[in-house]
Chain A
Amino acid sequence: MKRALHYIIFYGALLGLWTLLAELKIWPPYLFPTPWGVAESLYAGFQDHTYWIAIRVSMQRVLIGYGISVVLGMILGLGVASNKFLEETMGGLLVSLQSLPSICWWPLALLWFGLNQNAILFVVIMGSLLSVTLAMEDGRKQMPKIFGQAGRNLGAKGFKLFWYVLLPASLPFIVSGLKQGWAFAWRSLITAEMLYLSLGLGQVLMMGRDLNDMSAVIAVMILIIAIGYVVDGVVFKGMERHLQNKWGLTPAT
């Protein structure tokens, strides 16, 4: 109750300040729109289905890209964690690669895949793969050894050991990495979409710029934030809660 009040006060003040600045007309309205202008853009965008289509296209891409990242990243991470040679060699490479913004792969992706969806997917994968890999590697190391021993003892080996023991056992340790991977995937996607006419949210954002329609730009920015927030709050918070209930853990940051 008190928290809700805090929210209302904070966001009310933010909107108030925004309105005030806009109404003072220090900048022309097409450069600095009012909240109502942004709300109208949002409404119009959903009305003519532009936003619906953009959201669908973007979500589809990020799900495919992120999905591939998760699968590949888990295999890679597990490999790096369980092989001394890989750990010494590839481990360092992975960490250093993480300092490279994923959009730096864009020129290569264009040459390799052409100007199409695959290039975007490639950038998305490069954006989130490393986070997932490093999280998996770390999770596999943090995971108590006894689970693997107990699993092998009870007859699990190979893929069964991975699927029924190592993966579920490491989940609490990798969920924050998965979350980070998702955030990177989402950002990489929007960036790549902004560079290429592609129906997604990134393109709609750039369209607003081309039309000098700042309220549309801000509307799409709000959409991008909202989707990221909802996925985080629903999917990942739900996963964390679920794990906590099963394991009886206190939340791991």
Chain B
Amino acid sequence: MSANAQNVSARFPVPVEPLGQVRSGSPRGGLAPVAVGRPAHSVLPEISKVSLSEICLSYRAQSGERLLALDHINLQVQRGEFVCVVGPSGCGKSTLLHLIAGLQPQTSGQVFLDGKPVQGPGPDRILIFQDHGLFPWLTVGQNVEFGMKMKGISKAEREEKTRHYLRLVHLAKFENSYIHQLSGGMRQRVAIARALATEPDVLLMDEPFAALDAQTRDLLHDELERIWNDTGRTIIFVTHNVREAVRLGDRVVLLTFRPGRVKSEFPVELPRPRHLEDPTVARAAREILDELRDEINRSLEAEYNEGVKPRIEPGGEL
């Protein structure tokens, strides 16, 4: 019921193979288009960095009935790939990140990292929250070193790395500030530095720039792209902003509205660096948006009819 990826026959996006390949490490199908300069799309069999296999999540609504939030999600993310997940609000895309992070158990299915099943949270997958989740009782520097401290890394190494990552996000001067003294954009940069400092293989970003003003967001896009380039991390980026997804991603994955299914995948083969205002970005975004429109309409309809959306809180159980 999930393999409903639609091939879109426009010049962009390039159609990808139908979904439903469950086993991680399976070849991605010889017919899949090969993105230039991204060896991850090579036809050689390679174990995916992150692999979601038949992920389902259901929860009990207040009325007592079981609702399906995520429906047989299958997704392969290659090492070093920048994948953006878009979908209408309420499609469970944030929840999906929480599952990958191991902060919440799925009802069925399995998340694999390097082919190994994921059990619980681990510093190899760091989630960056929309409202940053920085610790207000710690200074910027202490926030950045927190993950390393939990790992038991020596003080000297921690200090050195903290300085390194703060320089990377251009916040070296704010090492001793408290979080409430920073602007929204600076807080997100601290959150990125804190995530990178644990040297995770995978960065999971949950609408990290949604609450920022346009100028700050543009700057952070550039910074994130640069950091991704420099560090070669795998990034799974959730957003409801299609243009942002096209601006940043190697690939855009579209989820349907309740239950969340993978509707289609769009490789983005535009040259980098890209800009939000590029006409090519806008055109690509338009095509994805056309597909998304149905889902958005369905979500709006549900919202009007129900008055209140029965939202699932990501990480509902702790």
Contact = CB atoms under 8 A, between A and B. Distances in A.
Nearest to B182: A248
Interface string A147-160: 11111111110001
B147 A247 contact: no
Interface in A201-253: 243, 245-248
Contact of A150 (B129, B180, B313): B129
Interface residues of A, number: 24
A154 B178 contact: no
A156 B150 contact: yes
A147 B138 CA distance: 12
A164 interface: yes
B127 to A, nearest CB: 5
Contacts of A155: 121-123, 147, 150-151, 198
Given A145-B318, A150-B129, A171 B137 contact: yes
Nearest to B129: A146
A171 B135 CA distance: 12
Given A154-B147, A154-B150, A149 B129 contact: yes
Contacts of A245: 178
Given A154-B146, A154-B198, A169 B129 contact: no
Contacts of A165: 135
A243 B150 CA distance: 23
A151 B315 CA distance: 13
B135 A168 contact: yes
A145 B314 CA distance: 10
Given A155-B147, A246-B178, A149 B315 contact: yes
Contact of B121 (A146, A152, A243): A152
A186 to B, nearest CB: 27
Contacts of A243: 137
Nearest to B198: A154
Contact of A146 (B101, B131, B178): B131
Interface in B128-186: 129, 131, 133-138, 146-147, 149-151, 178-181
B69 interface: no
Contacts of A147: 133, 135
A149 B133 CA distance: 8
A247 B134 CA distance: 11
A111 B1 CA distance: 70
Given A152-B121, A154-B147, A164-B150, A169 B135 contact: yes
Contacts of B181: 248
Contacts of A149: 98, 103, 127, 129, 133, 315, 318
A248 B180 contact: yes
Contacts of A148: 318
27 contacts: A146-B129, A147-B133, A149-B98, A149-B127, A149-B129, A149-B133, A150-B133, A152-B318, A153-B126, A153-B127, A154-B126, A154-B146, A154-B147, A155-B147, A155-B151, A156-B146, A164-B146, A164-B150, A169-B137, A171-B137, A243-B137, A245-B178, A247-B178, A248-B178, A248-B179, A248-B180, A248-B181
